[in-house]
Amino acid sequence: MPAAYTYRVRQFAQAVGAWFQTEEADDGTMAGYLPPGAVILFRAMPRHDRRHALRVLHVLQARGRVEPDLLAAALLHDIGKSGQQSGIRRRAGRVRLWHRVAAVLMRAAWPSLLERIGQDSRPGSWRHPFYVQMHHAAIGASLAEQTGCSPQTVDLIRRHEDRAAAGDDPLLAALQGADNQS
């Protein structure tokens, strides 16, 4: 099985397993890296996204990374998937696990279909979660900026899906590496 498939299967298992685990983030951890508004964003993320973000944070810390902007970006890099961009948490706006699985499969097998489906940015549309999935980095960067995150944290969140940019930025490369491992 190719490494990309193994990673996605492991990621799916971790997302499902998150429902059976207790939270491991405390207010001290959050306050050490995030402004108060960003802590609220983090807590509003689905449990599996919070668990994933904490794994990314822990991987970076285990690698000796201490840069505050990088660690804040680790906690918030997927915040754009939470459906909070409109300020209203609607069921239709949030990217569910099945949307993620469908998007990964479409990206691999039929990318043009994902591109067409993901063009609908209207909240409430059945296609909106695919739009959010495809644009979560930009959405997340905007949310992070609105809550007072540093410009570097915002930039890391905005570019965390841009594989070509990692060669130019060691912090981005570190974030992407930890994200891929988690």
pTM score of the predicted model: 0.80
Structural domain for 102, as ranges: 3-181
Low-confidence ranges of the chain (pLDDT < 50): 8, 14-15, 18-22, 86-92
Residue 150 phi, psi (nearest 5): -65, 155
According to the model, what pLDDT value does residue 24 have? 52
Domain count, the chain: 1
Task: Compute CA 171 distance to the chain's CA centroid, rounded to the nearest angstrom.
Answer: 16
According to the model, what pLDDT value does residue 146 have? 95
According to the model, what pLDDT value does residue 6 have? 55
According to the model, what pLDDT value does residue 107 have? 85
Cβ-contact 132, 85 below 8 angstroms: yes
Cβ-contact 79, 140 below 8 angstroms: yes
According to the model, what pLDDT value does residue 68 have? 96
